[in-house]
């Protein structure tokens, strides 16, 4: 018997698996790669909502935890995945500059916003109103994270590559059986696959489709992350990740012409140089309307847990949320209400 059966091999599931390893808890992780939003995610971590110049809940704690957590992952896998990198917000007007200065004076986000304008000239980007710099930013190479950590789990016989069938799960008050696996607890980290989970599909996980590009732009000499109507992330060798779109109706992971044209239009509004689309990706983010995670256990089956709803900030929320759920499961530490599924208790079945 293992301590945990983890369902889902995206960012959420792997973060919980790492917490099990660090705390000497046994587990089996089941994944079929059906939810690919983690693999194609932008991977940015940024403590400020730049559209509104507002701070994120627990941002400082998440960033502190993130630094240590991904260092441990890199040591375990031998693969570099965390890249601290400056993020510059391009201003489009004097009004945006003034809004930035006002936000930088707010105690909640002042630690994350530089109050000095960045007047750097970046070839192929016209920025007459300069840039603002967000502090403590960077990106996680999510594809490298998933590939290297899955390989680590496979080498140690901790990964089962299979499609999980909820109908085969047999739950009692003391243990759980799934085919030939017996476990004390199950953690569902299925991303948008939650919609097929009969135990937690009452939760309001909407799912937001996002599309992004990998482009090649030899004349774009960029060493920072640029945030405008899209983000532009330098990958090296004249390659850049650019995204992303938001579609609340389409729940498929198929790239669309509409998404392609939207990204092309936005890129051309920013870049003064030619570019070539190398790859076009799409995925459905596991989003909740209040933009908070879904953490907790089932109202009846207390040994069934959920780790979901990481949305667009999975690399930042994932480690922190996994630790909160792990401490709740092992030590009965209370989950903050703004992360807990108890905030939807009127919807429980």
pLDDT digits (tens, 9 = 90+) for 268-293: 999 999 999 999 999 999 999 888 99
Q: Which of the four pLDDT bands, split at 50, 70 and 90, describes residue 347? A: low
- 317, 287 Cβ separation under 8 angstroms: no
Which residues are within 8 A (CB) of 313 and not within 5 positions of it... i.e. 6 or more apart? Answer: 45, 46, 56
pLDDT tens-digit readout, 123-171: 899 999 999 999 999 999 999 999 999 999 999 999 999 999 999 999 9
- 90, 226 Cβ separation under 8 angstroms: yes
- 10, 284 Cβ separation under 8 angstroms: no
The proportion of the chain whose per-residue pLDDT surpasses 90, expressed as a percent, equals: 86
| pLDDT at res. 42 | 85
| pLDDT at res. 39 | 74
Q: Which of the four pLDDT bands, split at 50, 70 and 90, describes residue 51? A: confident
Type and span of the H or E element at 69: helix 59-77
The proportion of the chain whose per-residue pLDDT surpasses 70, expressed as a percent, equals: 98
- 233, 42 Cβ separation under 8 angstroms: yes
| pLDDT at res. 270 | 93
pLDDT for residue 315 is more than 80: yes
d(CA 44, CA 315): 7
* Mean pLDDT score, 1-22: 97
| pLDDT at res. 11 | 95
Domain ranges of the chain: 2-45+143-205+289-347, 86-136+208-285
The burial class, CB within 10 Å (0-12 / 13-18 / 19+), for 322 is buried
* Mean pLDDT score, 185-213: 94
What is the CATH code for 86-136+208-285? Answer: 3.30.9.10
- 91, 129 Cβ separation under 8 angstroms: yes
d(CA 296, CA 97): 41
pLDDT for residue 35 is more than 80: no
Residue 244, preceding bond cis, omega within 30 degrees?
Answer: yes
The average confidence (pLDDT) of the chain is: 93
Q: Which of the four pLDDT bands, split at 50, 70 and 90, describes residue 346? A: low
| pLDDT at res. 36 | 65
| pLDDT at res. 119 | 92
pLDDT tens-digit readout, 59-89: 999 999 999 999 999 999 999 999 999 999 9
Count CB neighbours of 276 within 10 A: 12
Type and span of the H or E element at 242: strand 239-243
CA angle (316, 322, 327) in 5-degree steps: 135
pLDDT for residue 185 is more than 60: yes
Distances in Å between the alpha carbon of 348 and those of 14, 203, 297, 300, 341? Answer: 27, 8, 11, 10, 9
Q: What is the DSSP string of 284-333?
A: EE--BTT---EEEE-SS-TTEEEEE--GGGHHHHHHHHHHHHHHHHHH-P
Task: Classify residue 10 by its DSSP letter.
Answer: S
Q: Which CATH architecture has domain 2-45+143-205+289-347?
A: 3-Layer(bba) Sandwich (3.50)
| pLDDT at res. 100 | 93
- 304, 199 Cβ separation under 8 angstroms: yes
- Return the SS3 of 193: helix
């Amino acid at each position: 018997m293992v301590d945990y059966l983890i369902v889902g091999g995206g960012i959420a599931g792997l973060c919980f698996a790492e917490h099990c390893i660090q705390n000497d808890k046994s587990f089996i992780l089941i994944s079929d790669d059906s939810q690919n939003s983690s693999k194609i995610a932008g991977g940015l971590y940024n403590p400020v909502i730049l559209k509104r110049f507002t701070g994120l809940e627990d941002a400082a704690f998440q960033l502190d935890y993130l630094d240590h957590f991904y260092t441990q992952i890199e040591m375990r896998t031998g693969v570099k995945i965390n890249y601290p990198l400056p993020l510059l917000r391009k201003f489009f007007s004097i009004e945006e500059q003034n809004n930035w200065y006002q936000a930088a004076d707010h105690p909640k986000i002042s630690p994350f916003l530089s109050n000095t304008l960045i007047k750097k000239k970046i070839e192929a980007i016209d920025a007459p109103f300069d840039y603002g710099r967000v502090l403590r930013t960077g990106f996680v190479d999510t594809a490298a994270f998933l590939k290297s950590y899955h390989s680590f789990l496979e080498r140690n016989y901790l990964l089962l590559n299979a499609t999980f069938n909820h109908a085969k799960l047999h739950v009692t008050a003391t243990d759980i059986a799934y085919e030939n696996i017996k476990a004390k607890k199950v953690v569902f980290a299925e991303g948008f696959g939650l919609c097929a989970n009969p135990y937690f599909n009452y939760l309001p996980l909407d799912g937001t489709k996002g599309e992004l590009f990998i482009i090649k732009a030899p004349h774009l000499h960029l060493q920072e992350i640029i945030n405008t109507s899209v983000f532009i992330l330098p990958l090296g060798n004249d390659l850049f990740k650019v995204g992303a779109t938001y579609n609340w109706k389409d729940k498929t992971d198929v790239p669309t012409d509409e998404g392609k044209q939207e990204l092309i239009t936005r890129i051309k509004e920013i870049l003064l140089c030619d570019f070539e689309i190398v790859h076009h990706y799409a995925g459905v983010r596991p989003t909740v309307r209040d933009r908070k995670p879904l953490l907790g256990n089932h109202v009846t089956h207390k040994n069934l847990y959920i780790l979901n709803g990481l949305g667009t900030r999975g690399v930042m929320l994932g480690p922190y949320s996994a630790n909160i759920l792990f401490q709740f499961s092992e030590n009965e530490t209370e989950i903050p209400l703004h992360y807990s599924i108890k905030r939807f208790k009127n919807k429980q079945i």
